[in-house]
Amino acid sequence: MHLKVVNVSRFTVILILSLSLFIVLPASAYQEASVVDGGTITGVVTLKGGKPIPRGFNLVTFPDPIYCGRISKGHGFRLLKEFEIGDDASLKDVVVELLGVQKGKPFTFSTPHIEARDCRFTPFVTVVRDHDKVEVVNMDPVMHDIQAYETSELGPRVLFNVPLPMNSSHPQTAGMDAEYHKHMPGTPMTQTINLTKSRRIFVMQCGFHAYMESWGFAVDNPYYAKTDASGKFTIGDVPPGTYKILAWHPQERMLIEQEVTVPAKGTVTARFEVQARQGARAGMAAVDNPHFGIGILGSREIKPTVELQQP
């Protein structure tokens, strides 16, 4: 056997070793440590430009129009409530996260729980951790199907698609009765969120009822918050320093970032303004269609016995 000798320059060897280290070494993960003289970030998020017209869905074009119509406009349409707006245009359910924190307070995380109740996924926005689990349970007397997709400017990718069974103790006729108000949990479906590198957002929809929608945002450290009904948030026990802080809402096209400097034992305020998406949006306006009106249900009625929706 003959061995072929290949001359390799010192530069090439160094380059190969450097690339090997780059490939093998994982990115530094968040580390838990004691926080000395921690500070606090408070703030508020508002919606710019007024509340957009909500997406409307004609209930008779989807399964279970009687039961799901318990939340409706009263004329056969279901609205998707994407914006919870308070006084002074304050915006609920905006995720705010501090970026670049390498170590700090404990990063404990309970499995997020999402319910299908009255043909609506709640909560509308959930904070998750990549590679962790999320639990979904059906409280309704009708079948649902969960389809989850990660989203970004690169397009969607399926995370999971599984049926969401109902509790068999519900009466067989419950889904055809707008007056039926019991909720009993079906078998919980637990799925693991495995996002593609650098992606942080996923959406979960019902394969049977398109107006059922819920969003998730993946965080990589414990310095995050979700705005309350008054659009306010608080992030505490932050190691002193200068950071980037971002805000995200499902209907904002971009992650909004700004810089904050957190003083030792002090408080800094951050304010964000979310711009709702304009132009074409998935779904349709709540406009009567003579070919698919509630008259095709015959003597059955769609009654908003849980909530009469307003635009």
- Please report whether residue 286 resides in a domain: yes
Pairing of strands 77-79, 39-48: unpaired
Give the count of domains, the chain.
Answer: 1
Distance CA 162, CA 203 (A): 14
151 close to 202: Cβ distance less than 8 angstroms: yes
Amino acid 276: pLDDT:
78
Amino acid 100: pLDDT:
86
Residue with tokens 């408070």, as numbered in its chain: 42
What is the distance, to the nearest Å, from the Cα of residue 27 to the centroid of all Cα atoms in its chain?
Answer: 25
State the Cα angle at 215 between 153 and 162, rounded to 5°. 100
Q: Which domain holds residue 187?
A: 28-308
- Please report whether residue 196 resides in a domain: yes
Q: What CATH number did the domain enclosing 197 receive?
A: 2.60.40.420
Q: Point out which residues pair with 98 in neighbouring strands.
A: 245
Q: Point out which residues pair with 150 in neighbouring strands.
A: 157, 202
- Please report whether residue 23 resides in a domain: no
Question: Strand, coil or helix: what is 32?
Answer: strand
Distance CA 63, CA 209 (A): 7
Distance CA 156, CA 53 (A): 25
Q: What is the pLDDT of residues 67-92, one digit of tens each?
A: 999 999 988 899 998 899 998 899 99
The length of the chain in residues reads: 311
Token pair recorded at residue 258: 């700004």
Amino acid 1: pLDDT:
42
* DSSP element (H, E) containing 213: strand 213-218
- Please report whether residue 22 resides in a domain: no
- Please report whether residue 59 resides in a domain: yes
Amino acid 75: pLDDT:
84
- Please report whether residue 143 resides in a domain: yes
Higher pLDDT, 182 or 311: 182
Most distant pair of Cα atoms in the chain: their distance: 91
52 close to 83: Cβ distance less than 8 angstroms: yes
- Please report whether residue 6 resides in a domain: no
> What residues contact 160, with CB distance under 8 A and at least 6 apart?
146, 147, 148, 191
- Please report whether residue 16 resides in a domain: no
Rounded to the nearest integer, the mean pLDDT of the chain is: 86
Q: Is the pLDDT of residue 19 over 70?
A: no
Among 224, 311, 302, 310, smallest CA distance to 61 is for: 302
133 close to 192: Cβ distance less than 8 angstroms: yes
Q: How far apart are the first and last CA of the chain?
A: 82
pTM for the model: 0.84
